[in-house]
């Protein structure tokens, strides 16, 4: 029934049993003819072609036989053929029954207690599609139900589909608590997720102990995942496993799967890397949802080319890390969104971490984005949506204000004396989620005595006291050309001096006895 794959003597391929019911064969250095050859092979073996679709640089086809499915994707730029064999697939039975269009479609970025992720689409028939849920904090559970009730035209909110991008706690934990408390007050029709097997020992992240949300005693991702599966079985909720190339039409919204764990090599598979990436069309506009995926690992640009262009983009991984800088930036230049969503509060997004990630800073300042919408205050966009004329100025203001709130890039202290040991002691506060790499220079009346590039590092979100001439606290010979370093020159005794501290990320520097003579956010 299932033909031998590879079938034509290929030697350059990978073969992975992705889950107990899924086998993935990735054939490299393949010609486009390989795609048609495998389609013909499946047809000759009694498989029925259910779908075929060709875009500028990729081609997709789906075949069914006796309840099983085979999904093929050929990527022209990579010359790769990806074949997924899924036993007992539900995909071909997927059916959605929309109601009468009665409301304007909307997209809401849910405000959450932490930097988790939850997006809510209201379809034109009044049903909802959710993407992730956030961590299981009690207020978020209640707020989600309140929002659904207030936004639903029917007395009992209907969730047409609930997508989960990947099995991280800040993306799916809330679901279990929500269904426990409000499962009888909503109608949940479908779950759509492509997770590893719950007992897959290759994913150590499953056993990570989590002590956030309402599970203060601590539990694991695996435990939450088991509960999710148990809830679905108890409620009779169907779970659909999305594959690359598939399109789910739900009401007046379509969701096209572009990346999932099937196309991510096992060696790079962390929970973030296997995030779903999918393209949504709703209200005449296009959206790219990325979860916590990295653009380089998902190879979005080389696989899909200009097809990734969208009106809206969710910035990957809350702005923590958006993939390799060059590849990510090239991807964003192709996507060229007008509006970006950023899961996380305004403080987190603009003060603590996002603006210091090179790729995200590029989005904020160089991509030409009209608006970046963070998780607070909660925003609901009625589609089609056009940013206000002032949105771009507001983005620039938030970016600069966020950096100012985090500190300054350069600090100068004067009126110090080398005869006082206390004058060498400084304190640095790093409020960002990035390690602060600080460069320190000492200046004296004699310009030949200058000391350059003393280095120290302050870990993310920490306060550090240190002595700027103590080798235990700082690196005193950081320069390769070290003639002006502290290790070589030392410093003159009992003379006045000044200190300049510089860092690419903003920091806050203080001294017990001296006020800063100058600081600036311009670096």
Per residue, what are the HEC states of 124-191? CCCCEEEECCCCCCHHHHHHHHHHHHHHCCCCCCEEEEEEECCCCHHHHHHHHHHHHHHHHHCEECEE
Least confident range of 25-29, 342-346, 411-415: 342-346
Residues 395 and 486 in one domain: no
Mean pLDDT of the chain: 93
Tell me the pLDDT tens digit for each residue of 456-469.
999 999 999 999 99
Residues 330 and 306 in one domain: yes
Residues 398 and 417 in one domain: no
Mean pLDDT value of segment 111-123: 94
| Strand pairing category for 80-86 and 22-27 | antiparallel
Q: Is residue 97 part of a domain?
A: no
Q: Is residue 2 part of a domain?
A: no
Q: How many domains does the chain have?
A: 3
Share of the chain above pLDDT 70, in %: 98
d(CA 269, CA 261): 8
Mean pLDDT value of segment 359-388: 94
Asked which of 404, 429, 450 is the last residue of a domain, the reply is: 404
Burial class (CB in 10 A: 0-12, 13-18, 19+), 217: exposed
Residues 116 and 82 in one domain: no
Q: Return the closest-CA partner of residue 433 out of 330, 321, 313.
A: 321
Residues 175 and 266 in one domain: yes
Q: What pLDDT does residue 8 have?
A: 93
Residues 206 and 147 in one domain: yes
Tell me the pLDDT tens digit for each residue of 40-92.
999 999 999 999 999 989 999 999 999 999 999 999 999 999 999 999 999 99
Mean pLDDT value of segment 364-378: 93
CB 486 within 8 A of CB 451: yes
Residues 475 and 516 in one domain: yes
Tell me the pLDDT tens digit for each residue of 143-193.
999 999 999 999 999 999 999 999 999 999 999 999 999 999 999 999 999
Mean pLDDT value of segment 90-113: 95
Q: Which residue has the tokens 């009126």?
A: 415
Residues 182 and 264 in one domain: yes
Q: Is residue 84 part of a domain?
A: yes
Residues 236 and 196 in one domain: yes
Tell me the pLDDT tens digit for each residue of 438-462.
999 999 999 999 999 899 999 999 9
- What is the extent of the structural domain holding 425? 407-520
Q: Is residue 471 part of a domain?
A: yes
Asked which of 347, 374, 404 is the last residue of a domain, the reply is: 404
Q: Return the closest-CA partner of residue 2 out of 38, 56, 34, 33.
A: 38
Least confident range of 68-77, 98-107, 268-277: 268-277
Residues 418 and 335 in one domain: no
User: In which band, very low, low, confident or very high, does the pLDDT at 428 lie, cut at 50, 70 and 90?
Assistant: very high
Asked which of 369, 404, 439 is the last residue of a domain, the reply is: 404
Residues 391 and 426 in one domain: no
Q: What pLDDT does residue 385 have?
A: 98
């Amino acid at each position: 029934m299932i033909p031998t794959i590879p079938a034509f003597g290929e030697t350059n391929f990978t073969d992975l049993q992705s889950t107990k019911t899924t086998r993935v064969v990735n054939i490299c250095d393949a010609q486009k003819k390989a795609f048609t050859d495998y389609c013909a092979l499946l047809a000759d073996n009694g498989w029925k072609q259910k779908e075929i679709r060709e875009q500028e640089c990729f081609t997709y086809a789906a075949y069914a036989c006796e309840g099983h499915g085979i999904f093929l994707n050929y990527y022209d730029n990579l010359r790769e053929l990806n074949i997924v064999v899924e036993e007992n697939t539900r995909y071909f039975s997927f059916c959605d029954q929309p109601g009468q269009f009665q409301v304007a479609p909307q997209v809401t970025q849910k405000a959450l207690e932490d930097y988790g992720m939850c997006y809510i689409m209201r379809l034109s028939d009044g049903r909802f599609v959710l993407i992730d849920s956030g961590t299981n904090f009690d207020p978020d559970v209640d707020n989600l139900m309140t929002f659904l009730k207030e936004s639903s035209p029917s007395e009992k909110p209907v969730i047409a589909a609930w997508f989960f991008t990947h099995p991280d706690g800040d993306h799916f934990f809330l679901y279990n608590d929500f269904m426990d408390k409000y499962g009888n007050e909503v109608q949940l029709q479908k779950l759509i997720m492509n997770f590893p097997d719950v007992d897959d020992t290759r994913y150590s992240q499953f056993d990570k102990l989590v002590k956030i949300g309402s599970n203060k005693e601590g539990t694991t991702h695996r435990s939450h995942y088991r509960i999710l599966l148990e809830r679905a079985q108890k409620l009779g909720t169907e779970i659909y496993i999305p594959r690359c190339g598939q399109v789910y039409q739900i009401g007046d919204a379509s969701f096209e799967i572009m990346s999932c764990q099937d196309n991510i090599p096992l060696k790079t598979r962390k929970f973030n890397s296997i995030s779903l990436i999918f393209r949504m069309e709703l209200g005449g506009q296009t959206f790219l949802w990325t979860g916590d995926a990295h653009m380089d690992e998902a190879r979005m640009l080389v696989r899909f080319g200009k097809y990734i262009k969208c009106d809206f983009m969710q910035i990957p991984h809350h702005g923590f890390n958006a993939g390799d800088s060059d590849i990510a930036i090239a991807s964003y230049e192709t996507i060229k969104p007008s509006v970006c969503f950023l899961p996380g509060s305004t403080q987190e997004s603009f003060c603590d971490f996002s603006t210091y990630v090179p790729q995200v800073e590029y989005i904020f300042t160089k991509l030409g984005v009209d608006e970046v919408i963070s998780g607070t205050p909660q925003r609901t966009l009625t589609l089609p949506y056009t940013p206000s004329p002032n949105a771009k100025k507001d983005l620039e203001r938030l970016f600069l204000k966020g950096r100012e709130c985090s500190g300054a890039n350069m600090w100068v202290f004067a009126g110090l004396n080398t005869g006082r040991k206390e004058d060498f002691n400084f304190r640095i506060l790093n409020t960002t989620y990035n390690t602060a790499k600080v460069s320190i220079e000492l200046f004296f009346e004699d310009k030949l005595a200058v000391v350059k590039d003393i280095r120290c590092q302050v870990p993310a979100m920490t306060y550090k006291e240190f002595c700027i001439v103590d080798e235990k606290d700082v690196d005193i010979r950081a320069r390769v050309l070290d003639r002006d370093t502290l290790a070589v020159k030392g410093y003159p005794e009992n003379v006045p001096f000044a200190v300049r501290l510089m860092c690419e990320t903003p920091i806050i520097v203080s001294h017990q006895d001296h006020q800063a003579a100058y600081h600036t956010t311009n670096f």
